[in-house]
């Protein structure tokens, strides 16, 4: 719903955060050593667990999920958390660059960060309508 307070764009932030949460969850499972057909084809291959990466992607799943929830409910804490998580995701997706997966992460996190940094969205989250 676009009511002039950024509602339609807030929905976009929620959907992007949700997509990043789902993607992070899939990557957590893949890095735990479970073979996922499409992800395994895109990644470096192998089914050996990479525990630190699995843990990092699990934490990212929770954080992106929290941002999606917080923005959907217009909770004030969601804006700074969303900016931080999107920025860390943007950096993490780009360094080191890992091909298609990095491009997707950069595009989604960059879009989310750009939306969150607009004044209209910041105000809509930090000062929700009554």
Task: Give the mean pLDDT of the chain.
Answer: 89
> Long-range contacts made by residues 48-53, C-beta under 8 angstroms, separation at least 24?
53/27
Encode pLDDT of 91-103 as tens digits.
999 998 888 889 9
Of the candidates 1, 5, 2, 21, the residue with the CA atom closest to the CA atom of residue 112: 21
User: How do the domains of the chain map onto residue ranges?
Assistant: 7-126
CA contacts within 13 A on the Cβ side of 16: 26
- Residue 1 pLDDT grade (very low, low, confident, very high; cuts 50, 70, 90): very low
Encode pLDDT of 44-72 as tens digits.
566 788 899 999 999 999 999 999 999 99
């Amino acid at each position: 719903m676009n009511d002039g307070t950024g509602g339609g764009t807030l929905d976009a932030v929620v959907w992007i955060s949700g997509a990043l949460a789902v993607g992070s969850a899939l990557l957590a499972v893949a890095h735990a050593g479970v073979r996922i057909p499409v992800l395994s084809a895109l990644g470096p291959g192998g089914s050996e667990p990479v525990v630190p990466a699995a843990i990092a992607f699990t934490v990212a799943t929770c954080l992106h999920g929290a941002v999606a929830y917080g923005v959907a409910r217009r909770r004030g804490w969601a804006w700074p958390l969303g900016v931080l998580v999107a920025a860390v995701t943007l950096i993490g997706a780009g360094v080191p660059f890992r091909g298609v997966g990095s491009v997707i992460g950069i595009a989604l996190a960059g879009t989310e960060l750009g939306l969150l940094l607009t004044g209209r969205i910041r105000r809509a989250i930090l000062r929700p309508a009554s």
